[in-house]
Amino acid sequence: MSDSLFRALDMIEPGDLVLYHGSITSHHGLWLALPCQCRDCLLADELGLPVARFALVDPWGERSGPCHARRESVTRSAACG
Ligand SMILES: [Zn+2]
């Protein structure tokens, strides 16, 4: 119960501002999280598998961010909480 509650609170909705802190250190920072649209994720979606990967988009549109980022690699920004 507490686990599911925690997950609900920690959920990232498409368009949320997130902090990326994954393996690509040059991309650490603030991004907009969108559902990953790569072939693997679309396929998993079709199969009904839970996909928790994100494509990260620059809120200012200046650079392209990492895609297929793991859920563990992003944290919802306190700015939108
Ligand atoms: Zn993907």
Mean pLDDT by runs of 10 across the 81 residues of the chain is: 55 91 95 94 93 91 92 82 47
| 22 closest CA partner among 66, 58, 61 | 66
Determine the distance separating the centroid of ligand 1 and the alpha carbon of 34, expressed in angstroms: 11
Ligand 1 is an ion; residues with CB less than 5 A from it: 36, 38, 41, 53, 68
Do residues 74 and 18 lie in contact, with contact meaning Cβ atoms separated by under 8 Å?
A: yes
Work out the number of other CB atoms within 10 angstroms of the CB of residue 66: 20
pLDDT for the residue 52: 80
* CATH class of the region 12-80: mainly beta
Determine the distance separating the centroid of ligand 1 and the alpha carbon of 54, expressed in angstroms: 7
pLDDT for the residue 1: 47
d(CA 26, CA 35): 21
